[in-house]
Chains A and B, each alone.
Chain A
Amino acid sequence: MKKLIIIPAYNESGNIVKTIGNIKEFAPDFDYVIINDCSKDNTLEILRENKFNYINLPVNLGIGGAVQTGYRYAFYHGYDLAVQFDGDGQHDAKYLHLMATKLEESDSDMVIGSRFISKEGFQSSALRRVGIKFFTNLIKLLTGKVITDPTSGMRMVNRKLLQEFTEEYPKDYPEPESVVKILTKKYKVTEVPVIMNEREAGESSISMMNSVYYMIKVTIAIIIARLKK
């Protein structure tokens, strides 16, 4: 069974070495690939010096396009499952085996690592939790399924779904939208409890300035995703 960890990286020079160390320690049987999305800092130099396995995008594609590059790579190289993993130290590779087991045992197409099942570890800010709760309710209303952490960037998919993602993946803020898309297509999504850390360095892809646009965009995108069969 070939397993790939996809790590999108944009200006992650402060975190990436630690992230890869964490993966090599706790998930050595997984392959990994870092997608450098035209970082403006010295991320590329760090990747090169450490001889990490990376793909260097020629133009900046944003988080959706970067992650999709990983899925495309996984698909071309015959991987059986792929998991998205943030390069900023928020995610812990300890949970990857748990997720892989869950994927297989529950016969799911996607397994999401959720912060809000055991409610331990970094819980995000109160304001963001309100936003996430809103999406959980909206998704429940539209699909009848409960996804406690629809914005989680830690998600594992089987080969069927990684092929789907190769063909189509949202450009920006992809997580909630793509979950609704695959629920609409009757794929099975389950969640496992994970503990996440607060990011150690760098900036979140969603700043305060963008959060209003984020809420509007994701809400509309979710509704459109549900309408489109």
Chain B
Amino acid sequence: MSLRLQIIIIVIMVLLLMHIINMVSKKKMDFKFGLIWAMVDIVIMILAIWPKLLAMISNLLGIASPVNMIFFFGMILSMLIIFSLSMEISYLSDRVKKLSQELAILRKDTYDGLNKKKDND
């Protein structure tokens, strides 16, 4: 891995990490998700800073070029995050469904109750 590529990756990862921290502190991202992203960010940063570790792992996994190892790692981690997001979305849409149903029924019952009261008055 060339020094130039190392520097580019590190700069991008530092900027990204700052952005993640900023988003979490502004409550635009849940701490839970911020943590996962920060971890991915830091792992990639460590590998870029310490190419020997990268070379060791890629050798172990039989990947010819250490740079490919970074991409491979990044892709696997991104896939894991996307997968967990799909699960999160399913969970959320289930809750939205239940809330909408409860709201609709509550609104109907309230309306019916008011009408009944009007009739009795």
Contact = CB atoms under 8 A, between A and B. Distances in A.
A113 interface: no
Contacts of B104: 35, 55-58, 69
B97 interface: yes
A61 interface: yes
Nearest to A54: B108
Interface residues of A, number: 15
Contacts of B103: 58
Contacts of B107: 55-56
A61 B93 CA distance: 10
B100 interface: yes
A173 interface: no
B90 to A, nearest CB: 10
Contacts of A171: 97
A161 to B, nearest CB: 17
Contacts of A55: 104-105, 107-108
Interface residues of B, number: 10
B105 A65 contact: no
Nearest to B101: A69
Contacts of B97: 61, 65, 68, 171
Interface string A23-62: 0000000000001000000000000000000111111010
| Among B96, B100, B102, residue most surrounded by chain A Cβ atoms (within 10 Å) | B100
A123 B108 CA distance: 37
B105 A73 contact: yes
A72 B102 CA distance: 8
B101 to A, nearest CB: 4
Nearest to B94: A171
B105 A61 contact: no
Nearest to A72: B101
A171 B96 CA distance: 13
A33 to B, nearest CB: 8
Contacts of A35: 104
Contact of B100 (A54, A65, A73, A76): A65
A59 B100 contact: yes
Interface of A: 35, 54-59, 61, 65, 68-69, 72-73, 76, 171
Interface of B: 96-97, 100-105, 107-108
29 contacts: A35-B104, A54-B108, A55-B104, A55-B105, A55-B108, A56-B104, A56-B107, A57-B100, A57-B101, A57-B104, A58-B100, A58-B103, A58-B104, A59-B96, A59-B100, A61-B100, A61-B101, A65-B97, A65-B100, A65-B101, A68-B97, A68-B101, A69-B100, A69-B104, A69-B105, A72-B101, A72-B105, A73-B105, A171-B97
